[in-house]
Structure 1
Amino acid sequence: MPILQTINKGHVPVKVYTDDIEHSAYQQLVNMSQMPFIHSHIAAMPDVHCGIGATVGSVIPTKGAIIPAAVGVDIGCGMNAIRLSIKADQLPDNLRGLRSAIERDVPVGFNMHKYDAVPDSTVRALSNGLSNIWEKHPKLKSKQKQPYQTWIRQLATLGGGNHFIELCLDENDDVWVMLHSGSRGVGNAIGQYFIEMARRDMEKVQMNLPDRDLAYFNEGTSHFNDYIEAVGWAQDYAMINRREMMRLVLKVLKARLPNFKVTKEAINCHHNYVSEEHHFGETVFVTRKGAIRAREGELGIIPGSMGAKSFIVRGKGNESSFCSCSHGAGRVMSRSKAKRLFNEQDLATQTADVECKKDKSVIDEIPAAYKDIDKVMANQTDLVDVVHTLKQVVCIKG
């Protein structure tokens, strides 16, 4: 489906791929469009909803500046999916044991490994980059307790919130492993640190912003360069975190399932990140806050909620969206509202066919708290083609 509405209340238009947008998210899009360094326009995906400063589900091209809060604190958050060579009927009838085994070997929530769970060479490579960032910004270390041990032991861990590990079945009954996670505590620390720094920089020059969370760094300044270095490191960390977590999940499965191979159809993509790209005649910084890149022929992952379908998609390279698409269903209510409205029985009913937690700790992730994934997909047929439709049978939440 093409662009459904255009907002013309700022320096550039906002092209929106949905007619279902809450007032607070609408205002955030207006605020962003007033920033003087936006290139061409802003694209809002079908799952767009209110975020901090910038909407989740938006694609923001900037020239000469970057807004740290638009990238957010879960820097490099994204998806990893792999198709296995086994079928649904080769899974055990009772999937509780598989879920328990994965939860035992892959720390979730605030938990972390008690030892270094990834190869030493990977740790050394990441350590060199982070040490350089810490040397320039020693106060960054104070954002975490035992920062050096923490970032290492959180590699190959899930985290909490909407992060998950799933076993899914596609339309051919092929088994997939899919997971969603980011840069963990160290990415959060980097995000918070530079968001606060951008605010202070704006206060010094008495910049009048439509929202204090749209504070930015100008290209060429030391803080801009340091942020680019730090956010790039966090994005690498997030990619490695997903890769290493997938390795641990596959190790669990190989010990408990019939012999299988991993197919070549594997995807590891960010959906909270910034990258330098060329669009509409200019090289710009593209911030995708809750959106994935969907260049022509490029594979991506659009997950639904705990009880809904997910999709493997192929990008169409639509320039109006800056070659992007949605990153999921998108929330329709806050976590606190979901906890007020729903109970454990509601969760059990809405996830009846999924082996997952069904207690109060994950009520805020209940499917009803999210938009209808089918409608979200219908609104972006101009952006992607569906390659596989997945339905989860196991879902592990933090």
Structure 2
Amino acid sequence: MPIQQTLHESRVPVHIWTDDVDANSKRQLASIASLPCVFQHVAAMPDVHLGLGATIGSVIATQKAIIPAAVGVDLGCGMVACRLSLTANEVDEVALQRIFDQITHDIPVGRGTYNKRRAFEQEALLFEPGLQEILRRHPDLAKTMCGTRQWVNQLGTLGGGNHFIEVCLDESDQVWLMLHSGSRGVGNVLASYFIELAKRDMERWMIQLPDRNLAYIPEGCAYFDDYVLAVKWAQDYAMQNRRCMLDRALAALRMHLPAFEVTSEVVNCHHNYVEKEHHFGTNVWVTRKGAIRARAGDLGLIPGSMGARSYVVRGLGNPMSFHSSAHGAGRRMSRTQAQKAFSAADLAAQTQGVICRKDDGVVDEIPSAYKDIDEVMAHQRDLTETLHTLKQILCVKG
């Protein structure tokens, strides 16, 4: 389905791939499109919704500058999934409950958690030289981290919020393992530091912005290259974090299921990041905040909410979206709104048939707090093609 609506009131237009977008998100998109560094147009994916500074589900191409708050604070957040040589008739409810317990025992979940037994310390230490170089250039950042090495022991941990580990069945009843996580606390610290630097410099240079959170770092700025380096470091850390958890989750499955193999290519994709790319004849910085790259042939993962379906897709390379697509269902309600509107009983009803937490602590993740994933997919038929449709039968959340 092509672009559903276009906003023209800003310096560049905003193309939106859905008619399901609220007024606050439209205003935020228009603010982004008013910035002098934004190139060509802003692309809003069908899962678009309000974010901090920049709208989640937005793709923003910029010339000679990057907007760090648009990249976000969970740098490199993304998905990984693989198909297994198991079918639905080899996985019963008893085994699934044991797997749920095993994963929650073996993989630390929730905000602020870490591997107390230093499970992936050696893998983490490979990232130390890169981080130390960033800290050497920014002593104030080193002070912010307070000498903590928590980042070492947070490798291989899930985090909270909408991060998850799932066992799913596809349209042929094949078993898949899929998870969603990012760069944990260290990515947040790095991102927040550079966001504040950009804000201070915008004020010092007396540059007027529609929102302080849209402060940008121009090329040639003393710390522009350092920010790019920090983002790349966090993206690599986030990807390794997902690999470590995937390995541990596969081990949990092998303890309670018949012998199996991984039968598909492992799909691992970011949806909070920035990259230098070539679009409309120009080299630009492309920020995907809650969006995945979907060049022709790119494999991607688009999860629904717990209790809904998810999709394995192949990109179609639509130039108008800067070769991008939605990254998930997208929130319809804030976490606070969802907690007020729904109960644990509502959550249990909406996640029937899924082994998962069904308590007040995760009510903000109830499917009704999200857009309909099938509608999101229908609105982006010109961005991706569906390879597999997944339905979760187990979901671990922090």
User: Normalising to structure 2: TM-score of the pair?
Assistant: 0.98
Paired with 1:138 and 1:250, the residues of 2 have a C-alpha distance of 40
The answer to whether residue 221 in structure 2 is matched with residue 221 in structure 1 is yes
- Which residue matches 2:161? 161
Amino acid across the alignment from 1:226: D
Paired with 2:155 and 2:99, the residues of 1 have a C-alpha distance of 22
Shift of 1:215: 0.3
Paired with 2:321 and 2:119, the residues of 1 have a C-alpha distance of 39
Shift of 1:116: 2.5
Contact 2:65 2:216 in 1 (8 A): yes
Shift of 1:233: 0.5
Paired with 2:106 and 2:294, the residues of 1 have a C-alpha distance of 33
- Which residue matches 2:131? 130
Contact 1:77 1:272 in 2 (8 A): yes
Shift of 1:112: 1.0
Amino acid across the alignment from 1:84: L
Paired with 1:64 and 1:254, the residues of 2 have a C-alpha distance of 49
Shift of 1:146: 5.2
Contact 2:121 2:152 in 1 (8 A): no
Contact 1:32 1:54 in 2 (8 A): yes
1:145-224 alignment, distance < 5 Å:
147-148=148-149, 150-224=150-224
Q: Number of residue pairs matched?
A: 396
- Which residue matches 2:120? 118
- Matched position secondary structure for 1:158: coil
Amino acid across the alignment from 2:120: V
1:262-301 alignment, distance < 5 Å:
262-301=262-301
1:1-398 alignment, distance < 5 Å:
1-94=1-94, 95-109=96-110, 110-118=112-120, 120=122, 122-144=123-145, 147-148=148-149, 150-398=150-398
Shift of 1:253: 1.1
Q: Deviations over 1:87-127 (max 9, x none)?
A: 0111133221110100000000122101332262x333210
Amino acid across the alignment from 1:332: R
Q: Deviations over 1:2-29 (max 9, x none)?
A: 0000111111111100011111110110
Paired with 1:265 and 1:135, the residues of 2 have a C-alpha distance of 38
Distance of aligned partners of 1:315 and 1:143 in 2 relative to their CA distance in 1, 3 Å threshold:
same
Contact 1:357 1:396 in 2 (8 A): yes
Shift of 1:144: 4.2
Amino acid across the alignment from 1:115: R
Paired with 1:253 and 1:20, the residues of 2 have a C-alpha distance of 39
Paired with 1:394 and 1:131, the residues of 2 have a C-alpha distance of 39
Paired with 2:283 and 2:300, the residues of 1 have a C-alpha distance of 23
Contact 2:125 2:152 in 1 (8 A): no
Amino acid across the alignment from 1:98: I
Contact 1:312 1:386 in 2 (8 A): yes
Contact 1:141 1:147 in 2 (8 A): no
Paired with 2:295 and 2:367, the residues of 1 have a C-alpha distance of 29
Distance of aligned partners of 1:145 and 1:357 in 2 relative to their CA distance in 1, 3 Å threshold:
farther
Structure 1: tracts of 5 or more residues without a match: none
- Matched position secondary structure for 2:160: coil
| Segment of structure 1 superposing worse, 91-100 or 235-244 | 91-100
Q: Deviations over 1:366-388 (max 9, x none)?
A: 00000011110100000000100
Amino acid across the alignment from 1:326: A
Shift of 1:139: 2.2
Shift of 1:296: 0.5
Paired with 2:312 and 2:235, the residues of 1 have a C-alpha distance of 22
Paired with 2:252 and 2:20, the residues of 1 have a C-alpha distance of 41
Give the root-mean-square deviation of aligned CA atoms. 1.0
Amino acid across the alignment from 2:245: M
Paired with 1:138 and 1:223, the residues of 2 have a C-alpha distance of 13
- Matched position secondary structure for 1:240: helix
Q: Deviations over 1:352-376 (max 9, x none)?
A: 1100000000000000000011110
- Matched position secondary structure for 1:147: coil
Contact 1:144 1:185 in 2 (8 A): no
Paired with 2:145 and 2:353, the residues of 1 have a C-alpha distance of 39
Q: Deviations over 1:120-174 (max 9, x none)?
A: 2x333210000011111122234446522x1010001000000000000000000
- Matched position secondary structure for 1:35: coil
| Segment of structure 1 superposing worse, 41-50 or 7-16 | 7-16
Structure 2: tracts of 5 or more residues without a match: none
Paired with 2:319 and 2:339, the residues of 1 have a C-alpha distance of 39
Contact 2:276 2:284 in 1 (8 A): yes
Paired with 2:332 and 2:146, the residues of 1 have a C-alpha distance of 34
Paired with 2:9 and 2:360, the residues of 1 have a C-alpha distance of 42
Contact 1:88 1:174 in 2 (8 A): yes
Distance of aligned partners of 1:142 and 1:119 in 2 relative to their CA distance in 1, 3 Å threshold:
closer
Amino acid across the alignment from 1:293: R
Amino acid across the alignment from 2:133: N
Amino acid across the alignment from 1:116: R
